A and B are shown apart, each in its own frame.
Chain A
């Protein structure tokens, strides 16, 4: 299924401006950024923007485009790239920035929710154009559920379960020890699972997903 989705993914847009060119590798690109080469920033955008956009979507869940958050991630990235100790870890570095940006966004949402604007703090979502209405609704409910974890636990939980980061990466991104990250993730997992079980729609959807997952793994 993942292979199918990869095939279906449309080609990403690239900005062709001036003499922008992709660096040979992440490391070379980071070095170029550190040297302040004029086209390095655009090259970094071309290379990382789509991935960062998807990361943000995964972390935040379905919803309108978060262009402002994407911009915020890159503004922070350009500002802090000089502090990156290991150039080869640039993608993890970007993910770490995403985590902090999303954390700030969730906190903002919670403040807005407290002010009784909308449930999520966002404008009402437009109707989806894709056919998987059940899956979209379940995922939307799921994200709203994990929003209840609170900023910090949500960030650890999403980074580990949805982003698929290792425990070490989660700990490093949050600047805590591995044991602390593990403790927070376990706590959040227990709570989310309990919430899913209590929600009949989500419980049923999760069962179907698990079944499909087992099937895929069996085929593989």
Chain B
């Protein structure tokens, strides 16, 4: 007993206690161990392994399926959320008969959409919400004026209809005014950019901040200009200040750029656009340079004349534009030829001439397109269509490899309407034409101008390449 007390007194050492207990644990464990695992354990292990040997794949598959299901669930949930159409609330305005009518008060009528977009209705204006989607809506200005402040969100899809016009927008602020009785649309840009399509527009026109588009269907007037000019009371006197060059006047070539084809002095204006001999339709029509352009049938307007005039046409085939839209371009050319192309070029109105030129281009008849465009410039000089014709003539020449002729037409277009709807395209093509003819050094100033004026333009990469590598 005294010996046990001695040992206990020495038990202050933790290790002794732990060691003693560990000995006991090992001994008991040995006693319990028995003969070890029986063969049955091995066989059960094999069964279990056969069951669990699948897990590397099965487990992965199950885990993968779980993850996929979770992702799908999240995506579906987000998709459902995203897929929900925008909602809107109307403030200080009446919603009746399918449209929203602005109040008669000074202001305050507003439609607020769930993505942050809001539409401020002018006094007495009527706006319809035609359709709503998850990323935008189709709206229609039935009458009056409304300001659209469209939230700039990725993949936003908004459009505003006004009469036969459609304004396509991703994120911007602009005003739309439509008068059904006068068939006049006016789009004024506050910020961002939109595209406008509709009658009198050969293709969608891009409007940028500060620009204004005004179209009067009844008189086929189309004007694109500075929104700040006459913003308060738009009228013909405040339209885009254009400087129409006389048809025979070559656009001056800036220093360092190649001079345009200098043709002979323009011949006296022919009564109509001369047609090539019927049997000798040119396979590769030569596009005349502006210097060879016939003088317009009527005297050119003064340099700062505002409202373009429209020549009287005895035949105005309105269906041509819609036929082209329907894919029947060849039908338009065939109809013009069936009535006599010379006659058609002399008689149809400005819109129909543009339609004919479009139809001819689309149906592989560039020679007809060139004649239609030349007729446009001759008969309807100083109109937006005539300016557009200059660009299109340049494009036709350029695309056929007639670089000098193309360059001259681009210069002509840019001199006639420096901020026109094709300005970016014309300047970009001019830059490339100069580069091809005279090298990169000559194109540097144009590239610099392009970068400055159209920082997001289509020819941005080429412009930067020219600026970065002056001598290829």
Contacts and interface: CB of A to CB of B under 8 A. Distances in A.
A121 to B, nearest CB: 19
A45 B45 contact: yes
Given A162-B25, A207-B4, A67 B44 contact: yes
Contacts of B36: 12-13, 49-50, 53-54
A135 interface: yes
A12 B15 contact: no
Given A67-B37, A130-B31, A205 B48 contact: no
Interface in A53-88: 53-54, 57-58, 61-62, 67, 70-71, 74-75, 78
A24 interface: no
Interface string B214-227: 00000000000000
Nearest to B41: A67
Interface string B1-43: 0011001101100111111111111111111111111110110
Contacts of B31: 5, 130, 132
Contact of B18 (A50, A136, A161): A161
A189 B48 CA distance: 38
Interface size class, chain B: 35 or more
Given A210-B16, A213-B20, A15 B28 contact: no
B52 A206 contact: no
Contact of A193 (B18, B39, B41): B18
Interface in A1-33: 1, 5, 9-15, 17
Interface residues of A, number: 54
A138 interface: yes
B37 A50 contact: yes
B78 interface: no
A196 interface: yes
- Going nearest first, the 3 A-B pairs with the smallest beta carbon separation are A50-B36, A193-B14, A209-B20
A71 B44 contact: yes
A202 interface: yes
Contact of A11 (B3, B35, B42): B35
B334 to A, nearest CB: 79
Interface in A160-203: 161-162, 164, 189-190, 192-193, 196-197, 202-203
Contacts of B42: 15, 17, 42, 45, 49
Given A54-B29, A162-B26, A190 B7 contact: no
Which of A45, A164, A210 is the most central at the interface, judged by chain B CB atoms within 10 Å of its CB? A210
Interface string B103-120: 000000000000000000
A139 interface: yes
B49 interface: yes
A123 to B, nearest CB: 16
B41 A70 contact: yes
B12 to A, nearest CB: 9
Nearest to B35: A10
A15 B7 contact: no
A61 B25 CA distance: 7
A137 to B, nearest CB: 10
Contacts of B28: 62, 132, 135-136, 139
A135 B14 CA distance: 20
A139 B24 contact: yes
